[in-house]
Amino acid sequence: MIRYDLIVIGAGPAGLSAAIEAARSGLQVIVFDENAKPGGQLFKQIHKFFGSKEHKAKIRGFQIGSELLEEAAQAGVEVVLNASVIGLYLDKEITVRIEDRLLHYKGDTVIVATGASETMVTFDGWTLPGVIGAGAAQTMMNLHFVQPGKRILMLGSGNVGLVVSFQLLQAGCEVAAIVDAAPRIGGYGVHAAKVARCGVPFFLSHTILQAEGDDGVTGVTIGEVDGNWNTIAGTEKHFDVDAICLAVGLSPMSQLLQMAGCEMEDHPKFGGLVPTCDAYGTTSVPGLFAAGDVSGIEEASSAMIQGRIAGAAAALRLGYFSENEFVLRAEELERALSSLRQGMFAPENKGKKLSATEEGCPVSEHLLRTGFLTEDEIFCYPGVKKIKGIHPVIECSQNIPCNPCQDACARKCIKVGERITSLPVVDEEVSCSGCGMCVAACSGQCIFLVDEEFEEDYATVVIPYEFLPLPRAGEKGIALDRSGKELCDAEVVGVKSLTAFDKTSLLTIKVSKEMSMRARFYKKGVRVG
Amino acid sequence: MKNSSDVIIIGSGVIGNSAAYYLAKRNYSVTVLEKSNHIANGGSVRNGGGVRQSGRDKREMPFILHAVRNMWPTLSEELEMDVEYYQEGNLRLGKTETHERILTDLTNTASSCGLDVKMITGEEARTICPYLSEEVTSASWCPTDGHANPMLTTLAYYRKARQLGARFITDDGVTEIRKVKGRACRVITESGEVYEADTIILGAGYESRELAATVGIDVPMTRWLMEVLVTEAQPPMFYQMLGTAMADFYGHQSTHGSFVFGGTSGFEETNKDNGTPSASSITAPCICRGIIKYFPALENAKIVRTWGGWIDQCADHVPVISYVDEVPGLILACGFSGHGFGISPAVGLTLSEMAVDEKTTIDISKLRYDRFTAKI
Amino acid sequence: MKKNDRSREIGRFQPLPDDERLICRCEEISKGEIRKAVHDGMFTLTEIRRYLRTGMGLCQGQTCAKLVRDIVAKELGISAGELERAAARAPMRPIEMRAFANEGNGGE
């Protein structure tokens, strides 16, 4: 039987990163993945990632996937696709189904990076065709170019629900509502604001009561829940929709580790059943490691670092790394990982209600309930200043691990500082060139350039825009406010799509002066009344 | 709740549960103590579900004859739950002359015990089960054999016994049996709990060996890891119990439509495990190769699960169902050697009679604990 | 380890309006059937699985395991975390008998 130094199960962000790290250290590595394409969920991720440079921030997920594949190839990693690992047995033996065969392999080390699957909730009609996972919707849209429906209701306001809602809008679907039983939006405020300004309403403290339809979903009824999750009579609301997306969480696919006899623990903070691991992904079975969502649900950025750490740990175990080399490498990686786990969405803050940011700025309840900041609130944050001439307005109100805006500004007008979770600060002393790099670089699309002195009665607002078709300069339309409500007439006076913007176009709209701090989105058309 | 009852049963397998039911039915108070977190977590719920008379040792034959004639056909009704019993016959298949000889020997033994079993040709076998491969040249055929669902049977006994008042306690294994004034009537559990009864039935599979040792008794047995697999549901095809001369595999189609097949790779005596009865990487593929040779029509059926289970393999492959002379109060029911499921109703009934010192319906004299002697 | 007395009082089975709702889609098991099984003495997820076939279908419980667990926990009046998950078994993905039978060594 052929023996590898390392067998990696799963070619997603964690698995590929583990393989690259180990192969670069000299291990002979093979990766198996049951899918036809590698990359796990990365190739469905068309949005820009958060984090800092070392986390591949502001790069879109699918591009990160391509980069990882290239790195893996260069490192000499063998990636076998359409290869389902059927079992993980004693002596770190696996069986893999490839075409019509069952092949046996052994690894001196094995890293399980099988990821997660979507959690479901039930309600009357939940088995109707048209009730799908948000991840499934993403696969349909972004890999197969199929709309999951024309008009969709999203259950779940975590990052998955918010990001997929935005992608549904980008795919030309209508999002009827985002519903969550929790009283506050679970995902990043900037993600919520992106969909809110497109006019998508949020229904917090609401749950789905019933999906309607005979052969498929034709409608849905939601209702408000009280503090004990009981429905409040008379609060029912109906929507005509042809699809319902569920984004209510992920469950680790840890069955292989369970089968292998790893000591397991079951805890909601991990999303379900995970192997008991140390900081390097070492399980209770010697030589067997876990990395990524299978060891606790996080996101792709941390999965990649966890993968690197597990790869390094495998290299240490097999003597390809000395203890010293490993310690240095692990420290570097753990620092990167720990910076992603800071801020208001840090694991230890899960479920906690925070009232202020690290800087002492108030947390907007309005944002957490409706998806957008009020005009009065935005001046509370250090990214929003009254400045003459064109200047960035950064509507970033939560401590999230992200700092590409700081690197984007050539004039150093924006500062996040050492802690990447700090709110960006706009420096009033530095004059803005209006280049728009920060607008395009912001993964949360929360930076706008405002120029209140564009013309005597008119201001311009530069907004990030990721929809097709792109408006043309000279086009007249309507400016929308942060809630997506029609605000005033607007004229597109500039459309910039530079390679450096990486497919985020910058739309400059002209609006009457008093609307400069209210107009945050644009749509084609003529205002009625 | 008080910790004393008429009978303590150690082990909630199909044997323990069935004994508990027959005792509870007659209003005896019963406490069943189970080490595992789950009711019936051993071979009782992991086996292939055969209810066959053919191929049995003579000493077991009275049990299976009684069970098949008097108990299995009405068991679902009695337990008020469908245990999926089918009495559609057992085909034991052969492809070579050697196989035919083995089958003929087994058939002769069974016939001499009064069983309606006979040798048939490959053609005749294909008339009974049209899915058989052309390679099948002979078979033994016992029309009164059958199969049932081991999980449902075991849990049905539990459910009914519990409804009748039998007390079941899981997650608390017995660590010791103790004599009090010369009679075994007390057990101590892992949690430190002490239970007392007039009679103790030890039906804990392989683990009976170490428990019997706490009162100085040894039943020579070892532990074999047997494996079983199940397919996704198939359209109804055939309901005979199947086996082969070489015992490569055995199994049947269930009510659900899935096929359940047990089988061996040849390493059952020496397989290692990680402390749980885990499946090996080579057995299920081996079982599949065996099945396809006899049932080519199943080659595209998808396997959804495989699992392992330990059997308590007795030195002579026949159970011990016995009083213990030196330890009055103790009844042994162990060493079933993978033959326990089919005879479980009759064994449970017998144990219920033994526990209350009644003459047993079935002769137990051949299954004594002290039958093992050195070979010279 | 703590002892689990199967005769302890868990109340009587009370029908609920959503008892008809399917929980295990592969094996078509409803919420009511799961709740009844608890009252039949099936106190662990493994017992429920063996009794009703929940999570024994093609998806191997990937979808319903959590749902079943929540229902059983509620019926027993305990927290879901107290219920041990059922075992994971090969094959992780359903595999045709002929492919399973067609063994080889990697690298051949």
Q: Which of A210, A225, A246 is the last residue of a domain?
A: A246
pLDDT surpassing 70 at residue B1: no
B5: nearest Cα among B22, B23, B16: B23
A350 exposed, middle or buried (CB, 10 Å; 0-12, 13-18, 19+)?
exposed
d(C-alpha C92, C-alpha C32), whole Å = 29
Question: Is C100–A126 a contact, with Cβ atoms under 8 angstroms apart?
Answer: no
pLDDT digits (tens, 9 = 90+) for B122-169: 999 999 999 999 999 999 999 999 999 999 999 999 999 999 999 999
Count how many residues are written for chain A: 529
First to last CA, chain B: 52
pLDDT category at B71 given cuts 50, 70, 90 is very high
CATH topology for B221-314 is: D-Amino Acid Oxidase; Chain A, domain 2 (3.30.9)
Same-domain pairing of A160 and A90: no
Question: Is B151–C50 a contact, with Cβ atoms under 8 angstroms apart?
Answer: yes
What percentage of residues in chain B have a pLDDT greater than 70? 100
Same-domain pairing of A284 and A143: no
Same-domain pairing of A381 and A288: no
**Domain residue limits at A443:** 375-524
- Domain ranges in chain C are 22-82+89-101
Question: Is C6–B39 a contact, with Cβ atoms under 8 angstroms apart?
Answer: yes
Task: Spell out which residues of chain C touch residue B170, defining contact as CB-CB under 8 Å.
Answer: 3-4, 6, 43-44
Q: Are A124 and A140 in contact (CB under 8 A)?
A: no
Q: Which of A230, A246, A262 is the last residue of a domain?
A: A246
Question: Is A104–B272 a contact, with Cβ atoms under 8 angstroms apart?
Answer: no
Same-domain pairing of A302 and A388: no
Question: Is C92–A86 a contact, with Cβ atoms under 8 angstroms apart?
Answer: yes
pLDDT category at A408 given cuts 50, 70, 90 is very high
**Cβ contacts of B31 within 8 Å, gap of 6 or more:** B3, B5, B7, B8, B9, B166, B167, B168, B169, B195, B197
How is residue B213 written in tokens? 């040792």
Same-domain pairing of A112 and A125: no
Residue from B157, B169, B302 to probe the interface with C (highest C Cβ count within 10 Å): B302
| Residues 473 through 492 of chain A touching chain B, CB cutoff 8 Å | none
d(C-alpha B138, C-alpha A85), whole Å = 39
C5 in contact with chain A, both atoms CB, cutoff 8 A: no
**Which chains sit next to C, with 3 or more Cβ pairs under 8 A?**
A, B
In chain B, the residue whose alpha carbon lies closest to the alpha carbon of A100 is B300
Query: Which is it for strands A83-89 and A3-9: parallel, antiparallel or unpaired?
Result: unpaired
B31: nearest Cα among C12, C6, C9, C76: C6
Task: Spell out which residues of chain B touch residue A90, defining contact as CB-CB under 8 Å.
Answer: 272-274, 278, 280
pLDDT category at C1 given cuts 50, 70, 90 is very low
d(C-alpha C7, C-alpha C9), whole Å = 6
A90 in contact with chain B, both atoms CB, cutoff 8 A: yes
Average pLDDT, chain C: 94
Residue with tokens 């067998």: A7
B272 in contact with chain A, both atoms CB, cutoff 8 A: yes
What percentage of residues in chain B have a pLDDT greater than 90? 93
pLDDT digits (tens, 9 = 90+) for A70-99: 999 999 999 999 999 999 999 999 999 999
Residue from C71, C74, C92, C105 to probe the interface with A (highest A Cβ count within 10 Å): C92
Does residue B319 have a cis peptide bond before it, meaning omega lies within 30 degrees of 0? no
3-state secondary structure at position C70: helix
C99 in contact with chain A, both atoms CB, cutoff 8 A: yes
Beta partners for residue B10, in sequence order: B33, B202
Same-domain pairing of A504 and A380: yes
Q: Which of A184, A211, A246 is the last residue of a domain?
A: A246
d(C-alpha A9, C-alpha A18), whole Å = 10
**Which chains sit next to B, with 3 or more Cβ pairs under 8 A?**
A, C
Element (H, E) at A331: helix A323-340
d(C-alpha B29, C-alpha A242), whole Å = 59
A178: nearest Cα among A156, A158, A199: A156
C105 in contact with chain A, both atoms CB, cutoff 8 A: yes
pLDDT digits (tens, 9 = 90+) for A439-494: 999 999 999 999 999 999 999 999 999 999 999 999 999 999 999 999 999 999 99
In chain B, the residue whose alpha carbon lies closest to the alpha carbon of C1 is B171
Element (H, E) at A80: strand A78-80
d(C-alpha B195, C-alpha B184), whole Å = 11
Phi, psi torsion values for A182, nearest 5 degrees: -70, 155
B17: nearest Cα among B4, B3, B34: B34
Q: Choose the closest CB to A103 out of C22, C25, C105.
A: C105
What percentage of residues in chain A have a pLDDT greater than 90? 95
Average pLDDT over residues B293-319: 96
Average pLDDT over residues A252-269: 95
Task: Spell out which residues of chain B touch residue C3, defining contact as CB-CB under 8 Å.
Answer: 169-172, 189, 191, 193
Q: Are A49 and A99 in contact (CB under 8 A)?
A: no
Same-domain pairing of A113 and A255: yes
Which stretches within B140-274 are classed as H helix?
150-163, 208-213
Question: Is B300–C98 a contact, with Cβ atoms under 8 angstroms apart?
Answer: yes
d(C-alpha B231, C-alpha B247), whole Å = 20
ipTM for this prediction: 0.96
In a domain, A12, yes or no: yes
Task: Spell out which residues of chain A touch residue C87, defining contact as CB-CB under 8 Å.
Answer: 258-259
Q: Are A267 and A275 in contact (CB under 8 A)?
A: no
In a domain, A363, yes or no: no
pLDDT surpassing 80 at residue A497: yes
Same-domain pairing of A513 and A387: yes
Task: Spell out which residues of chain B touch residue A261, defining contact as CB-CB under 8 Å.
Answer: 274-276, 278
In chain C, the residue whose alpha carbon lies closest to the alpha carbon of B170 is C4
Task: Spell out which residues of chain A touch residue B285, defining contact as CB-CB under 8 Å.
Answer: 102
In chain A, the residue whose alpha carbon lies closest to the alpha carbon of B281 is A89
pLDDT surpassing 70 at residue A161: yes
How many cross-chain Cβ pairs, A to C, lie less than 8 Å apart? 100
Question: Is B168–C6 a contact, with Cβ atoms under 8 angstroms apart?
Answer: yes
Which CATH code fits C22-82+89-101?
1.10.10
Average pLDDT over residues A332-351: 92
**How many domains does chain A contain in total?**
3
Sequential DSSP letters for A378-420: GGGSTT----SSSEEEE---S--SB-HHHHH-TT--EE--SST
Phi, psi torsion values for A225, nearest 5 degrees: -115, 150
Task: Spell out which residues of chain C touch residue A264, defining contact as CB-CB under 8 Å.
Answer: 85
> Which pLDDT does position A529 carry in this prediction?
62
Pick the residue with more confidence: A1 or C88? C88
Same-domain pairing of A299 and A388: no
Task: Spell out which residues of chain C touch residue A272, defining contact as CB-CB under 8 Å.
Answer: 66
Say which amino acid occupies B1.
Answer: M
B112 in contact with chain C, both atoms CB, cutoff 8 A: no
How many cross-chain Cβ pairs, A to B, lie less than 8 Å apart? 21
C105 in contact with chain B, both atoms CB, cutoff 8 A: no
> Which pLDDT does position A74 carry in this prediction?
98
B224 exposed, middle or buried (CB, 10 Å; 0-12, 13-18, 19+)?
buried
Element (H, E) at A24: helix A13-24
3-state secondary structure at position A480: strand
Backbone φ/ψ region at A99: left (φ over 0), alpha (ψ -120 to 50), beta:
left
How is residue A281 written in tokens? 């992904």
Question: Is C7–B41 a contact, with Cβ atoms under 8 angstroms apart?
Answer: no
* CATH code for position A76: 3.50.50.60
Residue with tokens 């800087």: A359
Average pLDDT over residues A512-527: 95
In a domain, A362, yes or no: no
Look at the alpha carbons of B259, B264, B265, B271 in this order and tell me if their dihedral is positive or negative. Answer: positive
A272 in contact with chain C, both atoms CB, cutoff 8 A: yes
In a domain, A172, yes or no: yes
pLDDT surpassing 80 at residue A61: yes
Q: Are A340 and A52 in contact (CB under 8 A)?
A: no
Average pLDDT over residues A368-380: 95
pLDDT digits (tens, 9 = 90+) for C53-100: 999 998 889 899 999 999 999 999 999 999 999 999 999 999 999 999
How is residue A273 written in tokens? 């059943």
> Which pLDDT does position B54 carry in this prediction?
86
Beta partners for residue B252, in sequence order: B260
- Quickly count: other Cβ atoms within 10 Å of residue A352's Cβ: 8
d(C-alpha A486, C-alpha A197), whole Å = 10
The angle that helices C45-52 and C31-39 make with each other, rounded to 10 degrees, is: 120
A166: nearest Cα among A421, A443, A364, A401: A443
Let me know if domain B4-48+151-220+316-367 sits in CATH 3.40.50.150: no
Chain centre distance of CA B148: 11
